[in-house]
Amino acid sequence: MDSFIHREEDYALRIVIYLATVGKMVKTKEICDKLYLTRPIVLKITNKLKCCGFLTTKTGKDGGLTVADFVYDASMYDILKCMGFNSRMNKCLNHTENCQLMPICKVNDLFYNIQNDIELQLKNAKIKEFLY
C-alpha cells in the first residue's frame, strides 16, 4: 500500500513546523541541513507553500524563507491540501455515484467514517501545537 500522506506532503509539514519554530528568516541550506533534505526537494516544496501564502521569501544577503503570520493557526490539513493532498481510504469514496454496489455495500460506510475522522483530526491539528 502506498502512503496515505505522501513524502512531499510530509516534508512540507516538517518545513513549515521548522520555520514556525525558528520564527525568523532561514536560508534554504539551513532547512536542508536541519531536516536532512536535498535542495531540489526543498525548493519544490517551498515554492508550492509560497504560492499558497504559507511562506514569504526575501532575496539578498539577509534573505531567506519565513512563515506567514497566520501559519501558526493553520491546520495540518491546510498545509496538506496546499501540497495536493487527496488521499482516500478507498477508491469508492471518490466516486460513490458510479458504484453499482452502493445500495448494498456496508463496507463503504466504515471507510467513509474513518476518512471523516482522519480529516477532522488533521483540521483540528494546528501548526502551533507542533512547535519545538
> In CATH, what number is assigned to the domain containing residue 76?
1.10.10.10
CB 131 within 8 A of CB 73: no
SS3 65: strand
Q: What mean pLDDT is reported for the chain?
A: 90
Quote the pLDDT of residue 38.
Answer: 97
Q: How confident is the model at residue 14 (pLDDT cuts 50, 70, 90)?
A: very high
In a domain, 2, yes or no: no
- pLDDT above 60: residue 1: no
Q: Which range marks the domain in which residue 97 is found?
A: 7-130
Question: pLDDT at position 69, please?
Answer: 95
Q: Is residue 1 part of a domain?
A: no
Within a domain: 18: yes
Q: Give the model's confidence band at 102: pLDDT under 50 very low, under 70 low, under 90 confident, else very high.
A: low
Give pLDDT, residue 95: 58
Largest CA distance in the chain: 64
Predicted TM-score of the model (pTM)? 0.87
16 falls within a domain: yes
